[in-house]
Chain A
Amino acid sequence: MNLTKLKIIIAREFMSRAKTKTFLLSTLLTPLFIIGITIIPILITTWDSEEEVKSYAVIDSTGRLIHSLTQSSPKKYFDATLQSLDELKELVKSEAIAGIIILDNDVYNGNTDPELIYQTGGISVFGDIRKELNKVWIESHLRAENLSPEIQELLNKRLNIKTSKLTESGSTKEENQFASFGLAYVMAFTIYMALFGYGAIIMRSVLEEKTSRIVEIIISSVKPIELMIGKVLGVGMLGLVQLITWVVMYTGISAIAAPLYLLFAGKQMAETVASIPAEAAVPFTLPELGFGYILLFLIYYLLGYIMYSSLFAAVGSAADAESDVQHFMFPIMIFIIIPMILLSKVATEPNSVFAIASSIFPLFSPILMVTRLGVTNVPWWEVTLSIVLMLAMTFFLIWIAARIYRVGILMYGKKPTYKELAKWIMYK
């Protein structure tokens, strides 16, 4: 391996892409896009509830529920016990009110369910109404039984779980389980995207050099394996730069996200936040990325990238045109997609034998081990074993890929069969 030439190749592969607008835009816009699709739905729901001015007419012939109901959300419910049902129905039709809720003795005694007459509405709206009616109804019965307020409060109370993870050093660290799940998913997904995205870049680049025929000129100066490795490393550096930019952006955004959000959503938000459970606010309490985790993530990211992009380079060299590659891509894609299918099982039961075994399998490790590292404490020997196995696999795959590559780049015409690829590997 001639290091001077390798450096020249890496520099070209890196610079020729880093200078493009596509790279700049995708690096800067991807995180904004992801944040966008997380924040916007939440913003929309909060704004939506602000807009919700139409209320429900409540006919309560028992007179025992209406008071608490209108008190709990005066904007949403109003007492219409004295109004005629037909009149109210007209109001619903003209969309002046959202609907009519009918409560009577049978409902109060729990014999029938309350009736809601509406024209437009959705599951979430009905769910809210059901919850509120239930609360008022139970409270009313509890009051009627003359239970002490303490007991009433007790009956209304719901326990939540506070999770803390036992770290290697033995200290417990309070951690939001939901958040670390999210993080593990994001990290696994980042690797998944990188394997595919950068794999495709490598493949297309090999194919381009082959079809433009410049490859023969280059390999009259350098060894094919030097060109292949230079390409893989040059593009890999590009990915690394992108990743580091994202980590920096993530850190920055998590610092300013909460205040920024409050600024957007304003006071309204503060009210809402108080009434919803803590989990729902998760996107704004971004979990901190530990240094150890980042380091391991980078190792898995890089080794995974090198393993798969070498294979993609071999695919590119064996094909003549982009339309030919599907056939060879398929077996590689399978190994990237399977861990994504296993992902949720591994994330929910990260210490099962199944999770351990599949995360140590080197072709799955980049995605599945990163997932496990995010949600649980993986014993050090498992991490070490998987890294050793991945290193061995990486060298093996580079070797295989380089053998195919050196023959493939000079072969034009007929699409080779797998048998022929096997022969190429054996050529002297």
Chain B
Amino acid sequence: MPVLSIQSVLKRFGDFVAVNAVSFDVEPCRIFGILGPNGAGKTSTLRMINNITAPDEGIITIKGEPVSENSQKWIGYLPEERGLYKKMKVGEQLLYLSRLKGLSRKEAKTSIDYWLDRFEASTWANKEITDLSKGMQQKIQFIATIAHDPEICIFDEPFSGLDPINSELLKDVIIELKSNGKTIIFATHRMEQVEQMCDDICLFNNGKVILKGELNTVKQSFGKNTVNISFSGEASFLNELENVRINNKSTNFAEIRLLDGANSQLILRKALDAVEVYSYELVQPTLNEIFISTVQADNKLES
């Protein structure tokens, strides 16, 4: 049974439809990526899952139960825009937020102590947030999200603004959470992280889901339609190719996406004529490529 199920959900703000007939399921113990350009409806969907706003149509169930005050305590939510009380001590702040999630004072203290220790932050408990560095504040923000031991962790753009050390730390924590049986949902437009971590994805555009499924299946469905070529010589031959899109071009490397009608063998021939070819490989598209082409195709369809 999916731990989270979204069925035909629609959300309007005035005349604007922010989320339009969206459906997807999240299976337990998976890392689920919600992708999409800015303004595609990701945050609006996350807010409905968190019972911050209510859908105008459709239903969201968590562990088989419609979203409610009760389901809120099963979720840990890290919003895209981070924030804590600036003038409140770290310990009190974490205690307050965990107790609002339904933990008793004692449970909250045990859990906060564990996580402060895990993040090597125990000595900050009596400091106010303003006295902490940005990196330290980010750690406290993670703890605030997961201190009540939620079954579902929702991170909106979790890696934005993180320094490399905290980025690594968060990745470790996410993997640790998954191995402890938690379900993780994250919304992002940073494809490399999704590619590394996600089991399943769901791509939003203009309020709709335009692509969803297991990451590998999705990638396979696009077939081997991308050419990776490395060479030495004058790269201008790339500009003469027809029915292709060049991603990721550098002086001696290019990732060439074959569009309808493009012939990979023809490209190889042209390359051989122009430059010295070191390697030539037909591969699956990157997630980034899938993202761009799917969104562009959808936008064309809309207009």
Contacts and interface: CB of A to CB of B under 8 A. Distances in A.
B41 to A, nearest CB: 15
A410 to B, nearest CB: 7
Interface stretch (A38-46, A101-109, A217-225, A291-299): A217-225
B52 A222 contact: no
Bin chain B's interface residue count.
20 to 34
Contacts, number: 60
A310 B79 CA distance: 26
B81 A8 contact: no
Interface string A1-30: 010010011001000100000000000000
B97 A218 contact: yes
Contacts of A9: 100
B126 to A, nearest CB: 14
B222 interface: no
Contacts of A213: 79, 81-83
Contacts of B97: 217-218, 221
Nearest to B78: A217
A335 B145 CA distance: 42
B164 interface: no
Nearest to B86: A212
B50 A220 contact: yes
A16 B51 CA distance: 27
Secondary structure class of chain A's binding surface, majority of residues: helix
Nearest to B89: A16
Nearest to A423: B14
A428 B83 contact: no
Interface string B48-74: 001111101000000000000100110
Contacts of A223: 69
Contacts of A280: none
Contact of A216 (B56, B81, B100): B81
Contacts of B51: 220
Nearest to A15: B92
B99 interface: yes
Nearest to B44: A410
A353 interface: no
A243 interface: no
A214 interface: yes
A215 interface: yes
Residue of A218, A219, A220, A223 with highest tally of chain B CB at under 10 A: A220
B52 A212 contact: no
Contacts of A219: 52
Contact of B72 (A8, A12, A220, A428): A220
B69 A2 contact: yes
Interface in B71-129: 72-73, 75, 77, 79, 81-88, 96-97, 99-101
Contacts of B187: none
A214 B84 contact: yes
Interface in A222-247: 222-223
B144 interface: yes
A223 B100 CA distance: 11
A410 B80 CA distance: 12
A16 B86 CA distance: 12
Contact of B83 (A5, A217, A222, A410): A217
Contacts of B56: 428
A218 B84 contact: no
Contact of A217 (B79, B86, B87, B88): B79
Contacts of B145: 217
Contacts of A220: 50-52, 72, 75, 77, 79
Contacts of A2: 69
A208 B129 CA distance: 14
Given A8-B96, A8-B100, A214 B52 contact: no
A410 B52 contact: yes
Contact of B79 (A5, A8, A216, A423): A216
Contact of A218 (B53, B86, B100): B100
Nearest to B88: A16
Contact of B73 (A12, A221, A428): A221
Contacts of A8: 96, 99-100
A12 B145 CA distance: 19
B100 A221 contact: yes
A219 B48 CA distance: 12
21 contacts: A9-B100, A16-B87, A208-B86, A212-B83, A213-B79, A213-B82, A214-B84, A215-B83, A216-B47, A216-B77, A216-B81, A217-B77, A217-B144, A218-B97, A218-B100, A220-B50, A220-B72, A221-B73, A221-B97, A423-B14, A428-B56
Interface of A: 2, 5, 8-9, 12, 16, 208-209, 212-223, 410, 423, 428
Question: Which are the 7 A-B pairs with shortest beta-carbon distances?
Answer: A213-B83, A221-B100, A214-B83, A213-B81, A220-B77, A212-B83, A216-B79
Given A8-B100, A220-B50, A221-B72, 8 more contacts: A9-B100, A16-B87, A16-B88, A216-B77, A217-B97, A217-B144, A219-B52, A428-B54
